[in-house]
């Protein structure tokens, strides 16, 4: 018996301000499926984001906005949000591993590849990392080149540098984050 095609999930989006510039949040039902920066590489066309909501109200937008605000203010190190990440099994495996990189630390692409049991797949890990649909929340900015270089970041290397500086400079009494305007 052939599989019955499922109707696509209803999508909606909203835009929130951040020190990294405007962030477009995309949801399917009550799951966050996207967080995109302006001029981000691999950003889908806005036409697939669904209806635009004027404010981040309701799930998951209100909670995502609150947790992002806490993160940028230095009061949050990891996110606890309902995510639905669309990608290949390999991509989802890489994205899950990204969430295991501790706040304030970096791993190389090679270390991430070893962590997922694919030590020779650092290039493929880099490609999957670049396709991460929820940057910041799934911290792909914490992955660097073998020599410590800040190689590629979908949101731009300057944003990657600013996010890493923010995370490394988080003493308990840290004030609000001041990133350059984008």
Residues designated as active site? 140
Distance (Å, whole) CA 35 – CA 149: 24
User: Any residues with CB less than 8 A from the CB of 85 and at least 6 apart, and which?
Assistant: 33, 91, 92, 95, 133, 134, 138
Give which of 119, 125, 77, 118 is closest to 99, Cα–Cα.
77
Q: Determine contact, residues 110/122, Cβ cutoff 8 Å.
A: yes
DSSP annotation of 13 reads E
């Amino acid at each position: 018996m052939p599989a019955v095609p499922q109707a696509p999930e209803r999508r909606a989006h909203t835009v929130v301000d951040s020190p990294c510039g405007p962030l477009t949040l995309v949801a399917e039902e009550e799951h966050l499926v996207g967080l995109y920066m302006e001029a981000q590489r691999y950003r889908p066309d806005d036409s697939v984001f669904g209806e635009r909501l004027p404010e981040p109200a309701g799930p998951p937008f209100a909670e995502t906005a609150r947790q992002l605000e806490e993160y940028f203010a230095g009061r949050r190190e990891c996110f606890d949000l309902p995510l639905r990440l669309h990608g290949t099994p390999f991509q989802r495996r890489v994205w899950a591993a990204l969430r295991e990189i501790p706040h304030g630390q970096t791993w190389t692409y090679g270390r991430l590849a070893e962590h997922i049991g694919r030590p020779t797949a650092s290039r493929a890990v880099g490609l999957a990392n670049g396709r991460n649909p929820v940057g910041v929340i799934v911290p792909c900015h914490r992955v660097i080149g073998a020599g410590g270089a800040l190689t590629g970041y979908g949101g731009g290397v300057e944003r990657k540098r600013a996010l890493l500086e923010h995370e490394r400079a988080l003493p308990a009494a840290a004030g609000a984050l001041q990133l350059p305007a984008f």
